Amino acid sequence: MHVTAIIAAGGRGQRLGSAQPKQLLSIGGRPILERSVTAFLAHPSVDAVIVALPQALVDDPPSYLRDAAALALAGSGKPLRIVAGGERRQDSVANAFRAAEATSELIVIHDAARPFASADLIARTIAAAAESGAAVAAVQSRDTVKRAAVGSGGAAKPDGADEAERTAVAAPCIVAETLDRSTIYLAQTPQAFRRDVLRAALAAGERGAATDEASLAERAGHPVRLVDGEATNIKITTADDLTIGEAIASSPRAGFKPAGPARTGRAGTGYDLHRLVEGRALVIGGVTIPSDRGALGHSDADVVCHAATDAILGAAGLGDIGRHFPDTDPRWKDAPSLDLLARAVALVAEQGFEVGNVDVTVILEKPKIKDYVDAMRASVAGAIGIVADRVSIKGKTNEGVDAVGRGEAIAAHAVALIRTLSK
């Protein structure tokens, strides 16, 4: 199933009181938008990503989006497109939906202002929508819920405004009734839909505004399945949310990456070597490099990703790449090694570790890789889920010695440092 992710980032976050759009602000040393986009670019269930931005950012996008889009154009990364948003959230989503490939069978929508959605939450929401047609991440209310009497509050809020962006009620409110909190769920994103369901939902939105796509799907007559959300999947709306977000980003319990260098408790090394043959693409660090020969292997034979994968798995005591992704398994035939790397990082995370940094040395006589190193670092960092300055990739020759020196093979050595998450 072809899955396209839409990152809704067309708003300006006026309630935050920032001079720049809130999605560009940093939490834990990484921009909010980068965190949200990377979560979907690195997810193995997502095939393409579309980001809806204000027109000013479409004209001059952040560097991490430019780099990801350039990788996609070079055929070395997942397709990433940038489109202009609209006046309302649903307009931004509609613009992005029109830009989705016709092959997209399922669309998953996520607010850029929710930078902490886990890979598991994304996977569960996609799986539920694939089965039911529509799904929304939501958390059950933990508090007693009161419904206010009509007219007991302040001035009415504008139709279609995001709940977090509307004017706060100033006048006293009167309780009309207490609701059964076991039936109350607070909607989050991601929200996922089969293509036909989302098309009908957006058409329903033309007849009136709504605060999310799940509401539009309901209006169009489609049942929407609830998927258990996450308490840490907060939406950054106010300055207080930024403070909470910093705490989440630095919390080892939540498994998110802190801003500074991670505490490194364990180290692993990796090595990979492949013959160079005609008729194969030369993929290094997720980047396809022009060459008359490429590495021969069961997957795409990316030595940087293979060596890094071995180093990360080794640091966690989880064996090597052949144990988890054997060349006897047809699932990994011609598989992008970036995906294998991302899967290895997920395995390590399940054991309570996160990656601190990775250093890789590529040994290759020709072609030279220096012009592609920055793109490789960004690509590998995206797969691991860390910032690019935690990834080092260097190119060396073997001075004409042995098969590598004769240009018959390519090799790579890697070192990975990982951090043990506190219990």
CATH code of residue 411: 3.30.1330.50
Do 230 and 97 lie in a common domain?
yes
Do 197 and 235 lie in a common domain?
yes
Q: Quick check: is 159 in a domain?
A: no
Q: Quick check: is 153 in a domain?
A: no
Do 77 and 211 lie in a common domain?
yes
CATH number at residue 214: 3.90.550.10
Q: Quick check: is 194 in a domain?
A: yes
The amino acid at 90: Q
Residue 18 pLDDT: 64
Do 22 and 121 lie in a common domain?
yes
Boundary residue ending a domain (200, 220, 249): 249
Instruction: For residue range 30-77, list pLDDT tens digits in order.
Output: 889 999 998 898 888 899 999 999 999 999 998 888 877 776 776 656
Q: Quick check: is 257 in a domain?
A: no
- Cβ-defined contacts of 209-215 (< 8 Å, 24+): 209/88, 209/90, 209/159, 209/160, 209/161, 210/90, 210/160, 211/89, 211/160, 211/161, 211/162, 211/163, 212/89, 212/136, 212/187, 213/90, 213/93, 213/109, 214/134, 214/136, 214/187
Do 276 and 347 lie in a common domain?
yes
Q: Dihedral through CA 225, CA 230, CA 236, CA 238, nearest 10?
A: 100
Instruction: For residue range 356-377, list pLDDT tens digits in order.
Output: 999 999 999 999 999 999 999 9
Extract the residue ranges of the chain whose pLDDT is less than 70: 12-19, 71, 74-77, 152-171, 251-264, 420-423
Q: Quick check: is 161 in a domain?
A: no
Split into its structural domains, the chain has a count of 2
Boundary residue ending a domain (249, 282, 298): 249
Q: Quick check: is 406 in a domain?
A: yes
Write the CA distances from 414 to 267, 273, 283, 374, integer angstroms.
11, 12, 17, 17
Residue 208 pLDDT: 76
Query: Containing domain of residue 339, as a range?
Result: 266-420
Q: Quick check: is 174 in a domain?
A: no
Chain centroid offset of residue 114 CA? 11
Do 218 and 279 lie in a common domain?
no
Do 222 and 274 lie in a common domain?
no
Q: Quick check: is 333 in a domain?
A: yes
Do 350 and 236 lie in a common domain?
no
Do 215 and 281 lie in a common domain?
no
